[in-house]
Chains A and B, each alone.
Chain A
Amino acid sequence: GENVEQHPSTLSVQEGDSAVIKCTYSDSASNYFPWYKQELGKGPQLIIDIRSNVGEKKDQRIAVTLNKTAKHFSLHITETQPEDSAVYFCAAISSGGGADGLTFGKGTHLIIQP
């Protein structure tokens, strides 16, 4: 089955700086890669996703890049703000996404220092 590795486990950045979280996956058939933000005691919230036919996607301060050859994808957050502090999970799935459950990375605790 799929295996997703995520780094770093904890990331502390100064407010206004950029944050980058990286993930690798093992199943070359995986074709959908969402990123979720989870605040304490809450469910994960989808913040951005990318499919295997695209190399990069951007939504305001958030961007995701995908390298299919190397089987890794990254989340980039620019101009970080205190409300960006949370745990971020990457995930991968090797089907159309509707019929199979997601395989999650272990999560990155992002801390934005004021």
Chain B
Amino acid sequence: GAVVSQHPSWVICKSGTSVKIECRSLDFQATTMFWYRQFPKQSLMLMATSNEGSKATYEQGVEKDKFLINHASLTLSTLTVTSAHPEDSSFYICSASHRVGNIQYFGAGTRLSVL
């Protein structure tokens, strides 16, 4: 099956620093990748849609200058949380859309803890 790799799986950082999360589709090319955020015991909320070679589309309420997304190739998208604060602590999950059936496959997620 389609595999999406996400790194790191867990990161702790100090308030004010930036954190980069990588999302890779290992065995398929994904023209579109998505970034979701999940707070404890809650559902996944779409943050942004990332298309290779173009600017990401952000959902309402998501600050594009705070959550920088780069989709440099058909297999790699990155999310950078800039000037992280404790309220940014969450579980960030990426997904990649497979061309066959446009099915979304998810990475294992990144647990971000901002101190």
Q: How many A-B residue pairs have CB under 8 A?
A: 61
- Minimal Cβ-Cβ distance residue in B for A100: B49
Question: A25 in the interface, Cβ–Cβ < 8 Å?
Answer: no
- B102 contacts A101, C-beta separation under 8 Å: no
Question: A73 in the interface, Cβ–Cβ < 8 Å?
Answer: no
- A46 contacts B93, C-beta separation under 8 Å: no
For chain B, the count of residues having a C-beta within 8 Å of the partner chain is 27
Question: B108 in the interface, Cβ–Cβ < 8 Å?
Answer: yes
Question: A26 in the interface, Cβ–Cβ < 8 Å?
Answer: no
Say whether chain B's binding surface is mostly helix, strand, loop, or mixed. strand
Question: A16 in the interface, Cβ–Cβ < 8 Å?
Answer: no
- Report chain A residues within 8 Å CB of B49: 99-101
- Report chain A residues within 8 Å CB of B101: 97
Say whether chain A's binding surface is mostly helix, strand, loop, or mixed. loop
- B107 contacts A34, C-beta separation under 8 Å: no
- Report chain B residues within 8 Å CB of A101: 34, 36, 46, 49, 59
Contact with A along B31-60 (1 / 0, CB 8 A): 110101000001111100100000000010
Question: B106 in the interface, Cβ–Cβ < 8 Å?
Answer: yes
- Report chain A residues within 8 Å CB of B99: 98
Q: How far is the CA of A22 from the CA of B102 in the complex (A)?
A: 23
Q: How far is the CB of B109 from chain A (nearest CB, A)?
A: 5
Q: How far is the CB of B69 from chain A (nearest CB, A)?
A: 13
- A98 contacts B109, C-beta separation under 8 Å: no
Question: B11 in the interface, Cβ–Cβ < 8 Å?
Answer: no
B interface residue numbers (CB < 8 A to A): 4, 6, 31-32, 34, 36, 42-46, 49, 59, 93, 95, 97, 99, 101-109, 111
Chosen A-B contacts, 25 in total, with CB atoms closer than 8 Å, are: A32-B102, A41-B109, A41-B111, A42-B108, A43-B4, A43-B93, A43-B106, A43-B107, A44-B106, A46-B106, A89-B43, A97-B97, A98-B97, A99-B32, A99-B102, A101-B49, A101-B59, A102-B34, A102-B44, A102-B95, A104-B45, A105-B43, A106-B42, A106-B43, A107-B42
A interface residue numbers (CB < 8 A to B): 32, 34, 36, 41-46, 49, 89, 96-107
